[in-house]
Chain A
Amino acid sequence: MRPVFSVFLLGAAAVALSGGAAASTDAGISFEYHRYEELRKALVSVWLQCPTITRIYTIGESFEGRELLVLEMSDNPGTHEPGEPEFKYIANMHGNEAVGRELLIYLAQYLCNQYQQGNETIIDLIQNTRIHLMPSMNPDGFEKAASQPGEIKDWFVGRSNAQGVDLNRNFPDLDRIIYINEREGGANNHLLQNMKKAVDENTKLAPETKAVIHWIMDIPFVLSANLHGGDVVANYPYDETRSGSTHEYSASPDDNMFKSLAKAYSMYNPVMSDPHRPPCRKNDDDSSFKDGITNGGAWYSVPGGMQDFNYLSSNCFEITLELSCDKFPDEDTLKTYWEQNRNSLISYIEQVHRGVKGFVRDLQGNPISNATISVEGIEHDITTAKDGDYWRLLAPGNYKVAASAPGYLTVIKKVAVPYSPATRVDFELESLMERKEEEREELMDWWKMMSETLNF
């Protein structure tokens, strides 16, 4: 951004004097804001530098026709390897919350650099995970926010998409449904039935929202985070309160796991995990924040958010990361934000390798897709993907995990789950037909025996 060039110089000098140590790992990253074109170029550059482990794709267009770009990083970009978990980061769904957007660009550059420099942790991560980075879900909003004259950006301009829709209130409200099901009985997962139809015919959904929903349906994401600004905390489900009040702790069935996930991010961010950090604004109520994490409903109720939608419509666990008190801070602070968040961002991706994972197959070895994996004591089931593979995030403990599918006999296994890595548990299910066959043969044998005995 040219107007701030001089400021940048000064800022850069200041940072160079103060910071310094992390400079070597961050070589090759320029810490500046990227408008749409620059964002695109930056992603293309990463791809050009690391073409064997990256791929750029788009999940659709924004209202004004900008591509919703995703950079995928994996040792086999473009394919889902059976058993390899899928992870995503989405930022800038509020166009004026700019830090997350930049962080994801820097993260892409960082992962590519580190991979080539032989960083084993990163190499391991990229080989065993399929990482999807979407720096901006609302490029139109960002342009509006970034185009504002002057240094101080308005709190609201550019937040919503070009149609004026707040994307984080635009998702189908499945919390309502799950709360009803909790009381009256009903499904505890995949609540949006006939998704494609419901989504395509829903006129209230913004194109950005629709694109993300399709994305969630197409790829079996396991873990995700969506990046925001305006505060500093890691927020986890449920976002919408059960009673409808404005503040109420609303635990999900996986409350323990979510707390663990949120902490896995916050603990590496010195600002987020600082117990003595003053609230961003004098009158802010951050009473619900503990160790840098908060339950969504306890902080304030958010209906129609993307985080809960992930959990209730798919297998994906998502948390919301608020990364900066200032939604659109000065460019010269970006490097600091990167340094504060780099380790957290990596650590959170690693969380996808926890709990139990494996395959569900039939007795002939064929994968059973859409089988249900349920854990005793946790009222939230997940399903297997097309190759019969599943990943069930669990906090450490002893569990009974059951695999079931229509037409098959359920199998239950006991598992002791450590903190990490994920425990491999495969299931072989016998089909009802096979069991019927067995019994039919038994019956025939019995009949034969009887008839021989009685001679008829």
Chain B
Amino acid sequence: MASKSAGLFVLLLQLFVLIVEQQIAALPTPAASMDDKSVYNRQLTEERPLQEQIAEADSVKAAVQPAESQQPSKDAGESEPASDDFTMLKALADGQKPAQTREVPVKKEDQFVPDESDSTKSRRLADDYDSTKNRMDYGKYQDDPESFRQVDGTPLTAEDIVQKIANKIYEEDDRGVFDRIVSKLLKLGLITENQAETLEYEVAEALQDLITKNAKNNEIEDVDQNQDTEGEQDNQSPDTDTWGPPRRRYNENEEDEDEDEDEVEDEVDRDTEDDAADNTWDKDTDGGNEVSPGDGLQDLQYFPNFYRLLRNLDSDQDVQERETLITIMKTLIDFVKMMVKYGTITPEEGVSYLENLDAMIAMQTKNKLGKSLGLPEVSGAEGKMVDEDDNTKSETAKMQKEYENLRDSTKEEQPSSESNQPGKSETYLEAIRKNIEWLKKHNKDEGKDDYDLSKLKDFMDQQVDSYIQKGIIAKDEGDTIKRIYGSL
């Protein structure tokens, strides 16, 4: 490939190929990448006319096409991660220099997506229409600092990028993948440290989800996998060091952070701790170096039911299940922490969610395992709590009724002084009579059977009661009406 005069497309191509370390022959060596970097940066700093870029791309395409690779079998597997990295790079490049790189990728799109049915066009229409309405809540689609999503819509696959990276890491059981990608990107100046951090969090999150999902799906089978993963983690302690505070890692390029052989979640713990975003969780995040019951369960001590469940699984054959459960729980806890950190939910909501979770666990274990958690107080306590709730509710309802009655009674004094009983019931009688007459006639006209008097009576009784309650009818009036209907 002609590297010197390569267009943007080829440069990026080389970059991601480098990073992914595929076995493709006839591709540039790392030495060449330095040159590419300078050329690449040139692209970023000055806008090149669209036509020029198109022309270059075309020439490159022409040059590349004849040089077909002899390894078709590898392509299938490579194109996927290749596309990941490519689009991810694109996304990150966008993130870094919004003003300029946004131009570049858009133009690139124009180059390679011949039809001009671009989303940006119609999106602008919506924006135009709504620019005068600053009341409309577009918060989610503008300025989300934590994501790679930009308003102009170019990095369309940010979440998928993250997902794909996470997938790859999970499949290969090698977090080094991520480190390698990110360090290269940082070296090339394509992303800032903040973005690397953010990317790390996002991938960590996605990875957690993956682990949880797989753990839940195949509990027994995956236990082995998890254990293997954990074992691998132990072995890869130098790599896992990279999951320490990225700042330090990427500045100094080597690390002897505190050993953290635990899963990703605890790394995030530390970061959460560092950021001190969420004070309520601070005391939970100390330690937890190993997945040993003692330390690892510190987080879980706040979940009494879960804890009891674990203790019930103390026997040997339950060890695997126990491990899985611990993993799942920790993942959930950390996920909630992340959400709180990102402000998706408030700390109170997070706490209540987890409390509910704990209660659910108790219930589910009772149902599924067919045994209680060994402590009758648990269900007793829960039952009591439920009862208390009900008590307070019924108390409130009682109080409300009393109040209503009081209110009604004070009202009744007013009306009874002003009105006369016979007059009232006369008017009402008249009205009810008219209704019955109409019903008879209406049903006759429509050929229906005689109206159902009892149903009507019930309906009216119900309505009268509701009106009495709301203060629309006085009690004695309501009784009158009911009496009249009763006598029909």
Contact = CB atoms under 8 A, between A and B. Distances in A.
Interface stretch (B128-136, B310-318, B358-366): B128-136
A193 to B, nearest CB: 7
B404 to A, nearest CB: 13
Nearest to A50: B435
Contacts of B467: 44, 56
Contact of B141 (A372, A374, A406, A456): A406
B53 to A, nearest CB: 16
A44 B119 contact: no
Nearest to A438: B119
A456 B17 contact: yes
A381 B133 contact: yes
B472 A193 contact: no
A382 to B, nearest CB: 12
B126 interface: yes
A200 interface: no
A12 interface: no
Contacts of B133: 187-188, 372, 381
Contacts of A455: 68-69, 71-72, 75
Nearest to B471: A67
B401 interface: no
B459 A456 contact: no
B127 to A, nearest CB: 9
A444 B113 CA distance: 11
Interface in A402-456: 402, 404, 406-410, 432, 435-436, 439-440, 442-444, 446-448, 450-456
B140 interface: yes
A435 B82 contact: no
A442 B135 contact: no
Nearest to B437: A116
B210 interface: no
Given A48-B481, A51-B463, A41 B427 contact: yes
Interface stretch (B152-160, B231-239, B292-300, B368-376): B152-160
A58 B156 contact: no
B153 A436 contact: yes
B83 interface: yes
A185 B250 CA distance: 47
Interface in B436-488: 438, 442, 459-460, 463, 467, 470-473, 477, 481
26 contacts: A35-B418, A40-B472, A41-B419, A44-B467, A45-B428, A45-B431, A48-B428, A48-B431, A48-B481, A56-B472, A65-B411, A187-B135, A406-B141, A408-B126, A409-B122, A410-B122, A410-B125, A410-B129, A436-B156, A442-B113, A444-B83, A446-B113, A447-B79, A447-B83, A451-B75, A454-B61
Interface of B: 13, 17, 22, 24, 61, 64-65, 68-69, 71-72, 75, 78-79, 82-83, 86-87, 112-113, 119, 122-123, 125-126, 129-130, 132-138, 140-141, 153, 156-157, 160, 411, 414-415, 418-419, 424, 427-428, 430-432, 434-435, 438, 442, 459-460, 463, 467, 470-473, 477, 481
Interface of A: 28, 35, 37, 40-41, 44-51, 56-58, 65, 67, 69, 116, 185-188, 190, 193, 372, 374, 381, 402, 404, 406-410, 432, 435-436, 439-440, 442-444, 446-448, 450-456
